[in-house]
Amino acid sequence: SAVISQKPSRDICQRGTSLTIQCQVDSQVTMMFWYRQQPGQSLTLIATANQGSEATYESGFVIDKFPISRPNLTFSTLTVSNMSPEDSSIYLCSVDPGGATDTQYFGPGTRLTVL
Amino acid sequence: QKEVEQDPGPLSVPEGAIVSLNCTYSNSAFQYFMWYRQYSRKGPELLMYTYSSGNKEDGRFTAQVDKSSKYISLFIRDSQPSDSATYLCAMSGREYGNKLVFGAGTILRVKS
């Protein structure tokens, strides 16, 4: 398994501003993922972030709105840009440590409220 | 039709009951099946994973996969109030790369 931390754990932001969420892993991993979980909903994949390449975004998510950095094998950031109240959600990062299965391990999440 | 269907509940049971949580799926390409537990205001925690059909047991938890019926289950024996959480099934397969497809999650409440 992997131990994952996220910063901040929560934030309240004003409409039109941007927030950068950090994800730190205690071991080197190739694949990291960013998810959104809206209240009472399941997880929706935003993008896959592999070190050394551009992030791959899922349908409905664009780089201008959710720019991602992946500078090394233990760290990634997700920025939520030009926020609106509809961006209020929990943002989760996860990692796939590799191996024969596709299991992922999740961070504790960042709870974002946009006013 | 969603790729993975899961009854959102809530499912309310008395302490000590056997709990059965289920998911159905439509794509026979899924090969890896996982169950995550998510407590309120926490990230999902991997509980069980299985490959292909069969059963896997870990303490009070048993994961079951029936690929012929496209149906997976998680059984919790001797349920405890601390088992109260949302349980998410997830699955993946070669055509999905390393991406997981999640069910909606079932809210479980175990009453003492």
* A52 C-beta neighbours (distance < 10 Å), count: 9
Whether residue B42 and residue A104 make contact (CB cut-off 8 A), yes or no, is no
Whether residue B100 and residue A111 make contact (CB cut-off 8 A), yes or no, is no
Residues B106, B9: contact at Cβ < 8 Å?
Answer: yes
Kindly list the residues from chain A whose CB atom is less than 8 angstroms away from the CB atom of residue B44.
43, 92, 106
Residue A32 has pLDDT above 70, yes or no: yes
Across the interface, which of B42, B49, B102 has its CB nearest the CB of A42? B102
Whether residue A48 and residue B98 make contact (CB cut-off 8 A), yes or no, is yes
- Search chain B and give the residue with CA nearest A102: B98
Nearest C-alpha neighbor of B48 from the set B77, B75, B86, B83: B75
pLDDT band at B8 (very low <50, low <70, confident <90, very high): confident
Whether residue B100 and residue A106 make contact (CB cut-off 8 A), yes or no, is no
Whether residue A43 and residue B42 make contact (CB cut-off 8 A), yes or no, is no
Whether residue B46 and residue A31 make contact (CB cut-off 8 A), yes or no, is no
**Strand A110-114 and strand A10-13: pairing?**
parallel
pLDDT band at A53 (very low <50, low <70, confident <90, very high): confident
Whether residue B43 and residue A41 make contact (CB cut-off 8 A), yes or no, is no
| Burial (CB count within 10 angstroms: exposed 0-12, middle 13-18, buried 19+), residue A89 | buried
Quick: pLDDT tens for B51-81. Answer: 878 899 999 999 999 999 999 999 999 999 9
User: CB contact, 8 Å: A108 with chain B?
Assistant: yes
Token match 């496209």: residue? Answer: B70
Residue A87 has pLDDT above 90, yes or no: yes
Query: Which of A102, A110, A111, A113 would you mutate first to test chain B, the one with the most B CBs within 10 A?
Result: A102
Nearest C-alpha neighbor of A109 from the set B45, B47, B102: B45
What is the reported pLDDT for B91? 94
pLDDT band at B97 (very low <50, low <70, confident <90, very high): confident
User: CB contact, 8 Å: B71 with chain A?
Assistant: no
Mean pLDDT over each residue of chain A, to the nearest integer? 93
Kindly list the residues from chain A whose CB atom is less than 8 angstroms away from the CB atom of residue B36.
106
In this structure, of A5-14, B62-71, B95-104, the range with the lowest mean pLDDT score is B95-104
Across the interface, which of B32, B102, B105 has its CB nearest the CB of A101? B32
CA distances for B111 relative to A59, B69, B82, angstroms? 40, 32, 10
